[in-house]
Structure 1
Amino acid sequence: MKQMKLTTAIAMIMPLMAGPAFAQDASETVDEEYVAETIVVTASRREENLQDVPASVSSTDPQVLIEAGKTSIKDIVELTPGVYAEDLGRPGATRFSARGIPQIGNTAVFGIYLDDTPLTSSSSFTAGTTFMLDGLLLDLERVEVIKGPQGTLFGASALSGIARYITKEPALQEVRGSVSADVSWTNEGEMSNVLSARVSAPLIKDKLGITLSGYRQDFGGYIDQYDNAGTLLAEDIDSSEVEAYAADMLFRANDRLDFRLKYIHQKTTVDAGSRVRLESLTSDKSPFGTFGTSAQPEPMNLEYDIVSGTFDYDFDFATFTSTTSRSEYDVETRSDESASALQVDFIFGLPLGTTQSLTNVIGISSERFTQEFKLTSASNKKLEWILGAFYVKEEGTNSQDLVVVPDTPIKLFQSYFPNDYEEYAVFGDVTYYLTDQFDVTVGARLSENEVGLVFDGEGLLVVGPNPPISINDSVKDTVDTYLFTGRYRPTDDLSLYARIANGYRPASPNIPLADQSTGEVITFPVVESDSGWSYEAGAKGRLLNGRVNYDAAIWTLELDKVQSPLIANGINTLQNAKSGLEAYGVDAAMQFKPTTDFEVGATFSYAQSELKEDEPGFGGVKGEQLPMVPEYKAGVQWQYTHDLTPDWTGSFSGSVVYTGEQTSRFAVPRATFAGKLDARTITDLSLNATNGSVRVGLYVKNLFDERALSTRTDTDVNFDNIYTAGLDSSTGIYVRPRTIGVNVGYTF
């Protein structure tokens, strides 16, 4: 059956790769003067033509998205086959995953980088799965998305892939810059706006340059708040704002030596999240209004500060690079847990309805220092190599306090757990060219990790009837990862590759939780490292003198000891799955440019991801598609440009993205229920006109105003039959309603 499904999926993408279907129609419009674009990326930690990289990589110019009103890295992920975004209803809060590996644990499976600086926490206690630098409005050259395990070159928490913000170098010769403004209106919601500016100038020509940039985003709300009786309390409560500024300095001492220093500050303030309480476990409708909720507002403050310095020296035979960084973030947020209020009444024997609200007050911080040394050989198409050493030290805090109204005589949950993560690693790879057309690469990384946890906790849900507990523990682990690739380029327009790679998440101490009645600790003291091997074969090529570009890959992956959720007393903690997961699928992308004025692209991905065995510990069923992994994802994008006057050029562009149905959680209800997310199709359009310096644009997102859930959480209160049925709740986050906007920009 698996083979049949995979064969069917391959058959579905072959038309995207074929080319002959376009050849006859396109031949009449081929312009002999057309020059195919060469895209350079650094996915292999050295500059390479995108077509030659032996991995599934996408490269996106963020300016194209920004002109269409798309200002978040989530917008790039939604257009990338095989990568998935779980919207958490607040700017800077999104879970990413790829290649059939869902984000089901507390340690990230998908990493975010700023150039060569890793930003994603590898600790399970600092919410690295949730909060991130959303930097699409920075002064970027491109955003690279690399799919599949990247443990050898990028280390921990790159199990399913990574995304990298690649920043523009500061100008050393001529001043450049831009200013832009964007205003939009959301159906049944408020107005939003974006203001941004950047300037880059040489301070000493050819020697010293600096870039200064900043932006402010104000997101209007569209969620209305009601009380439990259906009375409207407030409209459009989920407004938010993001402010950021950055400085980037480049000093080119001579032809061999560069030094670069970057600083970024970003602050996000959320009045309330966009999460809506739904009618039931099986409904996708809110009980009040179109986008109404009776949940309490969930405000959030998130602040990022990043400093990084890079030193490059060219020795002719190789380039030495030192990258030092310090990044920190602080999060203060509140989570409405009032859906579990009846459970509190049940625990204390109170009349049902006594408890009015439950709010989890959360504070998280992380301070992260990284140092990497890397020696990269010159590209000689004979023998190329990379050698490196990496160190990271992260110190974090996590505090949580469950506030009950009215107050209860016994505390339910209060905890404070400082934590730290430290890693030493050496890595490298060697590429040997057997011929000009065929080469092989072998890479390895050896990492020593240590995760420390100090836990102080009290309350009925933590220790049961026992006194407060205090634990000081650490876990050390040594992990090796490997990379093997073979690449064959029979012509300049075709590259074939095979890739074997693995990645991992570090082992960690676990938060202790006790049985409410016996006081016995029921959680595992240690969550072991999970690691996965990926096997991939792909083809990249060009047809019709570069007018057709295609990129397709078939892959399979196995992940052992999967770090999985364990729900005890209604609190999420971790465990390792008894077996593991297996996944397989295909990704494909194609761009076709029949004329110099018109370009169309198509993407497709299929992923089958399932557990090897039943996992009663967290409700997993063998053979069931894993949560938040759609089997199918597809999209079409286009752009048509036309001269409006001798000085002005207009463009019409758009996208249609289909995301297949998903489940929200594992199949067998325990504390969570496997809610269904229906398939959705979102259409965006934009019109722009520019004379090279001035640009004006009009766009619409979610053209057909599709009312679809992008995320949902369903709680079916049945903790090993302790509680009776009916104490359940569901919440969800909708795709933002139809939004119409205009923007203007000036570039110099």
Structure 2
Amino acid sequence: MTDRNRRLVWLLGTAAIASLSHASPSSAASLQTDGQAATPSSTGPSRPSASPATTDRGQAQDQNNSPDRGDIIVTAQRRSSSLLRTATPVTALTADALQRQGANRIADYAATVPGLSVVSSQPGQTVVMIRGIGTGHGSAIPSTVATYIDDVPYGSSTATAYGSIGTLDLDPGILERIEVLRGPQGTLYGASSLGGLVKYVTRKPGLTDFTGRVEADGTTVDHGAAGGGVRVMLDGPLVKEKLGVTVSGFYRFDPGFLDDPFRKKSNVNTFEVYGGRIALYWKPVDQLSVELSAVLQNSHSPNTSEVDLTSGLTPIYGKYSQVRWGNENWDFKTRLYSLNANYDLGWGTLTSITSYATRNARWDIDETTKFGAAISGFVGVPNLALFDNVTLDHKKTTQEFRLSSPNGGTLEWLTGVFYTHERSVKPEGFGRPFDATTLQPVPAAYPAGGLFFDTIYDRYTEYAGYADVTLRLGSQFKILGGIRYTHSTEDSDTPSSGALNGGHTDVTGRAVSNTWTYLLTPSFDIDQNNMIYARFATGFRPGGPTNLAASLLAAGAPAAYQPDSLDNYEVGYKAKFPLAHMTVDISAFYLDWKRIQLLTQVGGFNVTGNAGRAHSKGVEFAWTWMPVSGLSLSANGAYTDARMVVDAPLVGAKAGDQLPDTPKFSGNLSADYDFRISDDVGAFIGGNYQYIGSRPIDYVSGAPANYVRPVMPSYDLVNLRAGIKFGGFSIEAYVKNVGNSYGLVRLRSQVKNGISAPFAGAIVQPRTFGISVVDKF
């Protein structure tokens, strides 16, 4: 029995036991009896009263499905607040709504969030950008969007440890909702949140009633095969009203849809992911609550979702084909352990958040087209294929102490200190070349000491202190101000060896950053249903050493890159119209991005540096309407004009050039209708339309003066969904990409100069059918 089958059998057995362990479905899981659409997150027991940094379970609702967003509770400002009373642009997506749509990855729901865009070549390896603040796909650059799991920062703040491409697609099965904050969040969330924040909010253990959820899924994709998975969740008290537990597990196998005619393989781009979460919630007295949590997730993808294209973007080997000289494996393992304690002092709440996380990755990159001919000439053996093999071992420890006043009153305040320490080890080297025709080893092509090998030993430490104060001047006007000071150091040691390095070398580097970030947000409540606000906020990414060998430094690569920073100017309007069952959220922004950290290439290797300045300006909106009972309509969209305003010769960018991978226009239209077939049986139907505008590809360093970056054409997607529910049991089905759109989500040259064909184009998943059988109890 394979490891995959063992995992699947274990989860199926757990699901069967859980399903048989209850006598009758909970009436709370059924549709509302008045015929209105059930709120996606309203099932499950209520949680004990939340601290200022948490929310009650069941209060968050998907803004695309809820008719009354005034009831949505988010934690965008580190305390519970109504979405319509939060003076910052934030979108909330519930896990139930995502599961209903079969949206398991960020790429599946990015278009439902105004201003959010992604670029990815491989499942589980995604770069996230908000409001155009990004410079494309690259492993050697920090992220512009921070990721949090509850109140714990996830991932790395450095370029060394896959800070950008290591974005986590956390499975919805362990979540309550996802919050996406647009614009810099530098005062409360610190480094690498200059574009915004993706915050995964997990399910909190209940202290009163036992509940559970068992789900079995099946999928099939055009031009591919079948897949599926299971999800299991059990929740309830171990000691009633004192100690609760949540245990969840999942396994999913997504079928591939690309073939490799050279290797005579079909469906080479499968994706397998499994993991789970366990959390204990302890409330020994009313004033104290403690939550201990462990999250794990493993994923494996043997190949990219890229097809080979000509310079005119015509498929070379077929519309759904790629040619590689071996598997481009991407294995990614995440472990996150956290302890969150809150104590109510009466006049305020003291919070301690401790975490320890590990991330391990393995990445095999086919470099034959880029370096094969050069290596053949170097070693004197023709027709060679070759792979670059990279691994990562990353460990991160964080500690935060926070003290916050109660909600309400003339003056609200929040202050805290934050510490993080990261250590990473990242070996990288060219493997043994082999014959590109027979795929057999060629020992004569591998010199003594190898071709190229280095190991980056990196240490990053950050200390920060912050404070936010909200002053209410009367019943309608308030001012929020915030400040944060961050001190960070990064040290690296990079021993290198191999014939291409000229033998053994050892490069050390150090970077020190001291950064202040600020926030000022005045807001005015026109009445209880209408609010306007203005927002000035700043964000940053720390600098760091480039960890490059002496040969690359001699070729012109920088020894270190500097911090970049961003200033955000914004106005917004939020409103609900109770009689019309309608909500509106509109914001307009202008961003000034300075000393941009850009990914360039020296000798074909990715290098981080600073160059240029950019502005991003635009408008975002979100609208919901329930014209009749059970019918929910929504729309959102974004116009983003993100451009360089100063030349960046390092990467061949000129003033006026559009920033990479972000469409000027994007949007989503959605409709859902929940209705009753009988007193005992309910149903729903729905669908949405997504539009992604055209996007230029990444900048290319060393490109000739007349080079024009290729543009990925616009594309659109139609998705449909339907289901039937009786009691806690439901059968749900969906079709994604109904029209089989052939959209590009990443485009890159495969050759060393970075501008010539063949190109590799990652494509959206073709038409996919899915069905889920769900039992809630």
Q: TM-score surpassing 0.5?
A: yes
Q: Deviations over 1:227-283 (max 9, x none)?
A: 2xxxx61111222311102111000111110011001111112232322222x2331
Q: Which residue among 84, 99, 103 is the counterpart of 1:51?
A: 84
Match of 1:453 among 492, 499, 512: 492
Give me the whole-angstrom Cα distance separating, in 2, the residues matched to 1:266 and 1:217: 11
Q: How does 1:386-401 map to 2 (within 5 A)?
A: 386-401=414-429
CA distance in 2, matches of 1:656, 1:97: 21
Change (3 A) 1:460 1:603: farther
Matches within 5 A, 1:547-566: 547-566=581-600
Determine the C-alpha separation between the residues in 1 that align with 2:72 and 2:302.
Answer: 41
Matches within 5 A, 1:698-717: 698-715=733-750, 717=752
* 1:337-381 deviations in Å (ceiling 9; x for gaps): 111245415753858xx2331201010121000000001111123
Count of matched residue pairs: 695
Aligned to 1:185: 220
Q: Report the counterpart of residue 327 of structure 1 in structure 2.
A: 357
Matches of 2:593 and 2:132, distance apart in 1: 10
Task: State the distance in 2 between where 1:563 and 1:622 align.
Answer: 16
1:629 to 662, 666, 675: 662
1:500 is aligned to 2:533: no
Correspondence for 2:245: 210
Aligned partners of 1:398, 1:678: CA distance in 2, in Å?
A: 36
Using the TM superposition, give the Cα deviation of residue 108 of structure 1 relative to its aligned residue in structure 2, in angstroms. 0.8
Match for residue 72 of structure 1 among 97, 102, 105? 105
SS of the aligned residue for 2:96 comes to helix
Q: Deviations over 1:596-651 (max 9, x none)?
A: 21111001101111111222211112101111111110110110112111211111
Query: Which segment is superposed worse, 398-407 or 368-377?
Result: 398-407
Output the CA distance in 1 between the equivalents of 2:702 and 2:682.
56
The answer for the alignment partner of 1:442 in structure 2 is 481
Of 411, 415, 431, which aligns to 1:383?
A: 411
Q: Report the counterpart of residue 96 of structure 1 in structure 2.
A: 128
* Counterpart Cα distance in 1 of 2:618 and 2:377: 46
Matched, 1:739 2:765: no
Paired position in structure 2 for 1:61: 94
Q: Give the whole-Å Cα distance in 1 for the aligned partners of 2:515 and 2:648.
A: 25
CA distance in 2, matches of 1:488, 1:566: 45
Worse-matched range after superposition: 265-274 or 317-326: 265-274
Deviations 1:414-452 (A, max 9, x none): 110110110000001111001110000110000110011
CA distance, structure 2, for counterparts of residue 216 and residue 695 of structure 1 = 20
Q: Deviations over 1:136-187 (max 9, x none)?
A: 3343221100011111000001110111111222010000110011101100
- Aligned to 2:264, what secondary structure does the other structure show? strand
Q: Which piece of structure 1 moves more, 233-242 or 554-563? A: 233-242
After TM superposition, give the deviation of residue 699 of structure 1 in Å: 0.9
1:316 corresponds to 2:346: yes
> 2:40 matched to which residue of 1?
none
Match of 1:42 in 2: 75
- Aligned counterparts, 1:632-647, within 5 A: 632-647=665-680
**Residue type of the partner of 2:127?**
R
1:669, CA displacement in angstroms? 6.1
Secondary structure of 1:156 counterpart: coil
* More off after superposition, 543-552 vs 152-161: 543-552
Change (3 A) 1:347 1:513: farther
Greater alpha carbon shift after TM alignment, 667-676 vs 389-398: 667-676
Q: Distance in 2 between matches of 1:263 and 1:59?
A: 23
What is aligned with 1:467? 503
* Counterparts of 1:110 and 1:575, CA distance in 2: 18
**Match runs of 1:520-535 below 5 Å:** 520-535=554-569
Aligned counterpart, 1:433? 472
Aligned counterparts, 1:173-572, within 5 A: 173-227=208-262, 233-278=264-309, 280-288=310-318, 290-294=320-324, 296-344=326-374, 347-348=377-378, 350=380, 354-403=382-431, 404-405=433-434, 406=442, 407-409=445-447, 411-459=450-498, 463=501, 466-513=502-549, 520-545=554-579, 547-572=581-606
Partner of 2:53: none
Determine the structure 1 residue equivalent to 2:177. 142
Question: Contact between 1:126 and 1:396, CA under 8 Å: does it hold in 2?
Answer: yes
Instruction: Give the CA RMSD over aligned residues.
Output: 2.0
Answer whether contact 2:496 2:505 (CA < 8 A) is retained.
yes
Query: Given residue 534 of structure 2, which amino acid in structure 1 is its aligned partner?
Result: A
Quote the sequence identity (%): 25
C-alpha distance in 2 between matches for 1:680 and 1:204: 53
Q: Is the 8 A contact 2:213 2:234 kept in 1?
A: yes
Amino acid in the other structure paired with 2:468: D
Distance in 2 between the 1:531 and 1:441 partners?
21
1:616 maps to a residue whose letter is P
From 568, 575, 584, the equivalent of 2:617 is: 584
**In 2, Cα distance between equivalents of 1:139 and 1:568:** 42
1:555 match: secondary structure: strand
Q: Deviations over 1:564-591 (max 9, x none)?
A: 11211011101110x3111111110100
Retained in 2: the 8 A contact 1:180–1:195?
yes
| Mean Cα deviation higher: 106-115 or 296-305 | 296-305
d(CA) in 2 for partners of 1:70, 1:659: 17
Contact 1:226 / 1:294 at 8 angstroms: preserved in 2? no
Aligned partner of 1:137: which letter? P
- For residue 103 of structure 1, report the CA deviation from its aligned partner: 4.1
**Mind listing any 5+ residue stretches in structure 1 that lack a counterpart?**
1-33, 720-724
User: In 1, are the aligned partners of 2:372 and 2:386 still within 8 Å (CA)?
Assistant: no
C-alpha separation between the residues in 2 aligned to 1:438 and 1:149? 23
- Partner Cα distance (1:704, 1:471) in 2: 53
TM value normalised by structure 2? 0.86
Distance 2:86 2:68 in 1: 21
- 1:40 to partner: Cα distance: 0.6
Alignment partners' CA distance in 2, 1:612 and 1:452: 32
Where 2:474 maps in the other structure, the secondary structure is coil
Contact 2:369 2:751 in 1 (8 A): no
For residues 302 and 209 of structure 1, the distance between their equivalents in structure 2, rounded to whole angstroms, comes to 30
C-alpha spacing 1:136/1:718, structure 2 compared with 1 (3 Å)? closer
Report SS of the residue matched to 1:238. Answer: coil
Distance 2:70 2:411 in 1: 27
Q: CA deviation at 1:315?
A: 1.1
**Structure-2 residue corresponding to 1:106:** 141
In the alignment, residue 532 of structure 1 is paired with which amino acid? L
Distance across 2 between alignment mates of 1:36 and 1:126:
38
Query: What letter matches 2:759 in structure 1?
Result: S
Residues 507-534 of structure 1: CA deviation (Å, up to 9, x unaligned)? 1011335568xx8352111100001100
The DSSP-based 3-state class of the residue aligned with 2:172 is: coil
Contact 1:72-1:135 at 8 Å conserved across structures: yes
In the superposition, the TM-score normalised over structure 1's length comes to 0.90
Cα distance change of structure 1 residues 604 and 284 upon mapping to structure 2, 3 Å threshold: farther
Contact kept, 8 Å, 2:507 with 2:550, in 1: the verdict is no
Question: C-alpha separation between the residues in 1 aligned to 2:130 and 2:221?
Answer: 30
User: Does structure 2 conserve the Cα–Cα contact (< 8 Å) formed by 1:93 and 1:132?
Assistant: yes
Q: Counterpart of 2:674 in structure 1: which amino acid?
A: T
- The secondary structure found in structure 1 opposite 2:651 is coil
Rounded to whole Å, the distance in 2 between the matches of 1:193 and 1:36 is 33
Contact 2:89 2:182 in 1 (8 A): yes
Deviation at 1:383, TM superposition (A): 0.3
